[in-house]
Amino acid sequence: MNQYVTGAVIKELREKNKMTQLQLAEKLGVSDKSVSKWETAKGFPDITLLEPIAEAFSISVMELISGNTIHNANVSANMLRSKFYVCPVCGNVIHSIGEAAIHCHGIQLIPLEAEPSDERHMVFIERVEDEYYVRIDHSMTKEHYISFVSAVSSDDMQMVKLYPEGNAEARFKIRGVRRIFYYCNRDGLFSIDPIKGIDDKEKGYDDSQERRELEKAADMLFG
């Protein structure tokens, strides 16, 4: 039988909630011997008990299965705490604010950690009226490509899904954008502060000649 919930998790949650085995058993309508068997790995709770067990501990079934308790201390968290998950099987992109237990195709996904943009993932940002035009100097083959680009502010998240053989570019409404994220299917998640991107007018990067020279250099090095 697949260990969809371990006795160790049940014991940890029971003790955390200051319950005895008997008290938990009474909540679930089973004997305390049954609870003891679960906790000593001599048996497993029936699948029909998953929801009642989760309710007894005031957590979700997903938290119970994963063994990871989600602390919702950041209920009013802003989008700058965004976390991105990508399924290695189907490429599904999932976004959350703060901690979450995310599963796709039976795999528990871990949040991606963003690295600063580097010379192999150069990003060019141009401010055009009320939008940011974002272009990543990156191949877009079926084997190696940018999967998505996202613009995050304190109260909003915009995302553009990209596909192989397309263009590694996107447009976003500026409206307080504080961070640009983009994901390479081989090298992971990268991010940049848009005001540090090439072409930001407020920081003096709007010189078209400078942009052309930088783009030319990038093409020579990585084209």
pTM: 0.58
Question: Does one domain contain both 155 and 217?
Answer: yes
**Per-residue pLDDT in tens (0 to 9) along the chain, 223 residues:** 344 677 888 998 999 899 999 999 999 999 999 899 889 888 788 888 888 998 898 887 877 877 665 544 444 456 778 899 999 888 899 998 877 788 888 888 889 999 998 888 999 999 888 999 999 999 999 999 999 999 998 888 999 999 999 999 999 999 889 999 999 998 999 999 988 764 444 443 344 455 556 666 656 655 5
In a domain, 73, yes or no: no
What is the predicted pLDDT for the residue at 81? 80
In a domain, 148, yes or no: yes
What is the predicted pLDDT for the residue at 205? 38
What is the predicted pLDDT for the residue at 5? 76
Q: Whole domain around residue 57: which residue ranges?
A: 7-66
Report the CATH number that the domain containing residue 47 is assigned in CATH: 1.10.260.40
In a domain, 74, yes or no: no
What is the predicted pLDDT for the residue at 4? 62
Cα–Cα distance measured from residue 192 to residue 215, given in angstroms and rounded to the nearest whole number: 17
- Classify residue 186 as exposed, middle or buried by CB count within 10 Å of its CB (0-12, 13-18, 19+): exposed
Question: Does one domain contain both 51 and 102?
Answer: no
Question: Phi and psi (nearest 5°) for 143?
Answer: -95, -25
**How are beta strands 157-161 and 122-128 bridged, if at all?**
unpaired
